[in-house]
Structure 1
């Protein structure tokens, strides 16, 4: 019973300084110009072909790519600073560790942020039943992000704090709009996911097959979680529908997707030419379901697919590194 309760909990969660000189920034701008022909997910070309400028060094590729991403996101304000001769600080953590569940939408929000800004991070997959990996912490939920030994919790708070360190000048063009849609992600979008991915037993089994394949389970736990969890969550999803006043699961999902597309107002991203925190949050939450039946249906029956594809390219390769 303890194991089943653990799986039940997992289902509910799944439904959860250095300063740089002006000359350094000029160098980053030059790097950005070179990399602009290999943006987004195409940065992988550096890892697939020999480096024409010398021997291949994966760490240097990640470092240069991260620098280019930082420069490209702040290009206009950075250019102004360079003219004024005013250097700005950059965020260069030495050790970032994410304690997570692979399929958790809140964990994926954090990963989308880290991936977009090319902040290298290690992952510790938490066993959702025993949680021995986070016994050291008083906080018993995920995500937990350790940044140079400092604990950060709550996905929205994590990305806000990291964003402040990367952009101390608060360069977002419309903070109120961004804040509004970040709240929408946490208070609405995540609540339509569980009723959809556990809509029927077949889809519940598909979801738990993904969860147990990517999660931290022993063989016995994997079998129990896959079949016991799928059965439990199929019934739990019915209660979640009632709790959040959802009468038609797919209609609610499609409605949320269309609401988001309408919010873009024909912009490439909510942030304009580049994704902002709300773009990254929506993308992160949707990423775990994209290739499940619910995600396929969402892309097929709504206009969200084009934005999602742009986000995939903008976020690019995972910044995850081996522990």
Structure 2
């Protein structure tokens, strides 16, 4: 009997391992855990000797069928959920622009909102890092702010307008207008909230003090094509300038405690989710991408680490990281 149970366990283990391995998105650890638990439930029953506290495990051929079925169903369900969260939404190949170039500042929340959209829809793009002091990279344009997106030679400006116009290009009116009026209104409401409120609490947090301002500009200059002299100039001059700008922004938007304002804003967003995976339901909508985009440049700065530690935003942010996936940015 021991030999039969060992043989059955070996055969089923190989079968389940193969099945779980083929379930896209299921981690090796998860597969191993499901495999282990269901094999033991399927192959063995535990009995207690009469009048004794000792137990022994016996081979149970009948429950094998139930255990194997359970393992396969659980594996398939886990893979299905993983695929639903991790799947990007690339547009039809014929609608993907041939050349997309983003003129940006690495830490700019509006630029990162555009990048989140491009990454989620898997649209390849090149990046030109703009020197925030000289702005020499955008002297050719009458528009002196970032982001600027060139799409097959056409200049698009203003992050929300860029996303709307690009969406019409790659999806078409039929898809854009397919959402219900209620869903569409909610999405628009929260996209406006991002532009009119959330972004305004970021700068006072990023440049809250000199050390955090320098941390931010160290991140900016390490991601741009700056010479050594430009890197030093931008880092220290930029950090000093933005430190004072952030103080003015606090006054302008009546912010007394910048961290409290940030925490309140992201908690407001979590409340808006109302238990949903994303505001868009089972997958992100444009509001999800906007919030994620503007928070992404601060996530691993001091302000972003504090934000995740002190609020409930962490779970949603992790889901968004998985959904948006790898950047579609083209290497220079």
Same fold judged by TM-score > 0.5?
yes
User: RCO (CA 8 Å, sep 6+): is it higher in 1 or 2?
Assistant: 1
Partner in structure 2 of residue 70 of structure 1? 89
Q: 1:231 to 1:141 in 2, by over 3 A?
A: closer
Instruction: Decide whether the 8 Å contact of 2:88 with 2:323 is kept in 1.
Output: no
CA deviation after TM superposition for structure 1 residue 320, in Å:
0.8
Cα distance between partner residues in 2 of 1:136 and 1:248: 40
Instruction: Decide whether the 8 Å contact of 1:205 with 1:226 is kept in 2.
Output: yes
Deviations 1:231-268 (A, max 9, x none): 33223222110100101000000000100001111111
Q: 1:198 to 1:305 in 2, by over 3 A?
A: same
Structure 1 counterpart SS, 2:127: strand
Structure 2 counterpart SS, 1:37: coil
1:153 equivalent to 2:184? Answer: no
1:172 equivalent to 2:172? Answer: no
* 2:130 alignment partner, one of 126, 130, 133: 126
Partner in structure 2 of residue 295 of structure 1? 304
CA deviation after TM superposition for structure 1 residue 291, in Å:
0.3
Instruction: Decide whether the 8 Å contact of 2:106 with 2:220 is kept in 1.
Output: yes
Structure 2 counterpart SS, 1:70: coil
Instruction: Decide whether the 8 Å contact of 1:208 with 1:230 is kept in 2.
Output: yes
* 1:162 alignment partner, one of 133, 158, 166: 166
Number of residue pairs the alignment of both structures matches:
246
Deviations 1:186-225 (A, max 9, x none): 1101100011111112211211111222234321222222
Cα distance between partner residues in 2 of 1:228 and 1:140: 20
Instruction: Decide whether the 8 Å contact of 1:96 with 1:145 is kept in 2.
Output: yes
Cα distance between partner residues in 1 of 2:160 and 2:97: 19
* 2:228 alignment partner, one of 193, 202, 219: 219
Q: 1:228 to 1:93 in 2, by over 3 A?
A: closer
1:247 equivalent to 2:247? Answer: no
1:142 equivalent to 2:146? Answer: yes
Structure 1 residue ranges (4+ consecutive) displaced by more than 3 angstroms after TM superposition: 68-71
Structure label with greater radius of gyration: 2
CA deviation after TM superposition for structure 1 residue 89, in Å:
9.4
1:82-93 superposed matches below 5 A: 91-93=95-97
Structure 1: give runs of 5+ residues left out of the alignment: 1-34, 40-67, 74-87
CA deviation after TM superposition for structure 1 residue 228, in Å:
2.9
Structure 2 counterpart SS, 1:146: strand
* 1:205 alignment partner, one of 193, 206, 214: 214
Partner in structure 1 of residue 194 of structure 2? 185
Cα distance between partner residues in 1 of 2:244 and 2:151: 38
CA deviation after TM superposition for structure 1 residue 304, in Å:
0.4
* 1:105 alignment partner, one of 98, 109, 125: 109
1:37 equivalent to 2:41? Answer: no
Instruction: Decide whether the 8 Å contact of 2:103 with 2:130 is kept in 1.
Output: yes
* 1:96 alignment partner, one of 81, 93, 100: 100
* 1:281 alignment partner, one of 290, 309, 315: 290
Q: 1:37 to 1:172 in 2, by over 3 A?
A: farther
Instruction: Decide whether the 8 Å contact of 1:126 with 1:132 is kept in 2.
Output: yes
Cα distance between partner residues in 1 of 2:25 and 2:99: 27
Q: 1:273 to 1:90 in 2, by over 3 A?
A: farther
